[in-house]
Every structure is written in C-alpha cells, then in structure tokens.
Amino acid sequence: MLPLSINNQTLAWGERTYVMGILNATPDSFSGDGLYAQNAQNALAQAHQFVEDGADILDVGGESTRPGSEPVDADEEIRRVIPIICAIAEEMPKTLISVDTYKASVAEAALAAGAHIVNDVWGLRADSELASVVAKFDCPVILMHNRSNPASVEVREKLGNAFIGAEYGNLLEEVKAELLESVEIAEQAGVKSESIILDPGIGFGKTIEENLELNNRLNEIRALGYPVLLGPSRKSFIGYTLDLPADQRVEGTAASVAIGIARGADIIRVHDVKEMTRIVRMTDAIVRR
C-alpha cells in the first residue's frame, strides 16, 4: 500500500495509527461538542488543543449525522465550516484538515479555503458531482459505507438516538461490495487509487451486534487493499452496550479503538483526542512492533 503525501506530510500506512480529531461546527451534534455557538477563534483554540493532544488530522463538519438530525443546505454548511477551515489553514499551515461533507459545492469551497481531504459519509453516492471535485483538486477522499435511513431511528431517553439496522444477508460481504462500488465511482471520475481511504461506517444503518462484528472484523475491510478509517467515538452501539449516555462513553470508545487498531485500522476518528492518542500509542506499541 503506497504512502500518501499531503501538505508536505507523508502518511505511511501500517507504520502507525493516525488520529483524526472531530470539530463539529453544528448546533445539534449527538455528542454535545458542537462549536456552532462559538466563533472561529474558539474553534481555532479547540484545533490547537487537539493538535497539542496528538491529532494528526482535524475533521471539520457543518452538518450533523446524528440520527434524527435535520438536513442542512449547502450555503448554511459553507457558512459554518469555511471560517473555521480558513482560520486553521492560516494559523496552523502544517496541520492536515479534512472536511466532513457529502456535498460537492461544500467540498469545493472547503478545499479552496485550505482543506486537504474530503470525508464523505455517503461514499460519493449522495452528490454525483463530488467525485469530480475530488479528482479536480487531486485530494484524498474517505469513502464511508452507509445504509442508514433518516426515517428509521430509535430513540431512548438517556442513550439518545440510533439508526435502526438495515437488512443484510451477509454483513461483511455486502459492506465490502458497496465500498468497492464507491471506489469505482471515485476511480471512474479520475481519483487516484492511492488517494482512497475506506470507512466501514460504524453506526450507520447497522444494529448493535453488526457494529460490534464490523469492529472485530475490520481486517477484512483492510484486506481490500486500501487504508481504513474507524470512527466509533461515543456512538450509540457503545452506549447501548454499556447503558451509558454519550458523555460517558470514553472507555467504550477506547476498547473499540484498541480492537480496531489490532484489526488493522490506519486512522481513528475521535472526540476525545488526548485520551485516544494515548490508547493509540499504547496499542501501536503492542501490535506494530
């Protein structure tokens, strides 16, 4: 697997696990960490803290993917994320920035403002123009598997909302096949193979048991030949397993991250950067010797 060079940095897959810190520029993040009410300077302070705590990549998003959340139009999403991306790019030029969006116009604005990576929770299936934007900017793209249905949401007091699982005949085989369909969309648009990163979509249209199985069989996604991102942070499958609300899921996230790394994860996407960086470094010390 070829190393990925971005912004004068090299991500050497397999040598260590990279940490992506979540910057939510939303009013309705499920984890309660949205920066919507704050200005770009406060978001910048959070970005500095994340990097100090060990983040390799900052993932800026302006539309919540929380089950039951309201869609946001592209103009509003741009209004939320561009000031933050501009501030980080100007003050922290060596820091890698990804934009968490499935909209081509948002991605184009973000890349022009200084973002380096597109993180698409719909795997290039929601906006037919996004693959062309990624190819135009010659940037890496994270393709996530997603069968979630916004209308199929379970609500439990204290534990929050969760997507109800879609129907699978064979979970791993179907996830792999649909990820490879997203890869084909990317490559047909001119995206380089070495610029593609896969995400199995923990928490998106899968049952608690299916999320646990995906986490434990991440090596089968990695065997497709692309770097893999794992994003379990504070998600409902942890809350439902441990009977805990979102703000008490750090230990459950740590377990998921450690197992994910042991199964081949290359990037972990998390809210609790300081704690998860320590988990990453310890797990790497054990499994990547």
Look up tokens 């929770």; give the residue.
121
pLDDT above 90 coverage of the chain, percent: 82
pLDDT surpassing 90 at residue 186: yes
Q: Average model confidence (pLDDT) for the chain?
A: 91
Residue 274 among the catalytic residues = no
Q: Which two tokens stand for residue 180?
A: 């490879």
Q: Is the dihedral of CA 50, 24, 230, 140 positive or negative?
A: negative
Active-site position among 234, 249, 263, 269: 269
Assigned fold of 16-287: TIM Barrel (3.20.20)
Provide CB contacts within 8 A for 32, sequence distance 6+: 246, 247
Strand 57-61, strand 117-120: pairing = unpaired
Q: How would you classify residue 73: left for phi > 0, otherwise alpha for psi between -120 and 50, otherwise beta?
A: beta
Q: Give the residue extent of every domain in the chain.
A: 16-287
C-beta of residue 226 within 8 angstroms of C-beta of residue 196: yes
Active-site position among 125, 234, 235, 249: 235
**Rounded distance between C-alpha atoms, residue 267 and residue 117, angstroms:** 13
pLDDT surpassing 70 at residue 155: no
Which pLDDT value is given to residue 159?
59
How do residues 128-153 score in pLDDT, each as one tens digit? Answer: 999 999 999 999 999 999 998 765 54
Residue 103 among the catalytic residues = no
Q: Which two tokens stand for residue 54?
A: 């060990």
Q: Taking residues 252-275, what's their average pLDDT?
A: 98
